[in-house]
Amino acid sequence: MQFSPLIEEMIEALRCLPGVGPKSAQRMALHLLERDRSGGERLAEVLGRSMQEVGHCRSCRTLTEEELCAICASGKRKSSVLCVVETPADMLALEQTGAYDGQYFVLLGHLSPLEGIGPEDLGFDELLSKLDAEPVEEIILATNPTLEGETTAQYLAELLSSRAVKVTHLAQGIPLGGELEYLDGGTLSRAFAGRLGFNRENQ
């Protein structure tokens, strides 16, 4: 048995969401049609407006419906420090820590030759232009600790090596509360390589 063409189209449309397979899409569609039509109408309205109105911040490239996002428009952020992240979600994660008060630059991805994603797709030219126009003293490469993320960070570090700017990388190692027996070898190796003295004030 198949549903009517429009219901099948709705189910197929929902499958564009990450992690949503045929069964999940079917469950979502039937829930909206059977139990929450007002919610479905609200979802459709907000989705439509978002697709039309949400673009990219002209300064950091994160998602926003304004010309400048709230962070770039704020006069309270340090302009001398720039944190490079892969996605708007990574930017949000760092913001939620409350530990950073500088500016951002969002790559909107990472280098991936297999997927055809090169430097021209990640705004590297825009990043260099930003450095030419603004007094940035330090760039923090906060790409993800994956092969693609590390490759992207290395490429950027080499690209920036000729410039008078300090390039740093987020520390990586054993997470707070982690137990050694459950950590992978790569994490432990990084922890050993980046180890600190016990009394940091004596460093």
Average pLDDT over residues 106-115: 94
CA distances (Å), origin 21, targets 14, 25, 27: 9, 6, 10
Average pLDDT over residues 173-189: 77
Helix and strand numbers (H, E) in the chain are 8, 6
Average pLDDT over residues 106-114: 95
Give pLDDT tens digits for 39-86. Answer: 999 999 999 999 999 999 999 999 999 999 999 999 899 999 999 999
| pTM: predicted TM-score of the whole model, two decimal places | 0.85
Average pLDDT over residues 121-136: 94
CATH number of 63-169: 3.40.1360.10
Mean pLDDT of the chain: 91
187 against 122, higher pLDDT: 122
Give pLDDT tens digits for 129-141. Answer: 999 999 999 999 9
What pLDDT does residue 156 have? 96
* Choices 1.10.8.420, 1.10.486.10, 3.90.25.10, 3.30.9.10: CATH for 5-53: 1.10.8.420
Beta carbons within 10 angstroms of residue 168's beta carbon: 13
Q: Are strands 63-64 and 55-56 parallel, antiparallel or unpaired?
A: antiparallel
CATH 3.40.1360.10 domain extents, the chain: 63-169
Q: Are strands 78-85 and 102-106 parallel, antiparallel or unpaired?
A: parallel
What pLDDT does residue 202 have? 46
CATH 1.10.8.420 domain extents, the chain: 5-53
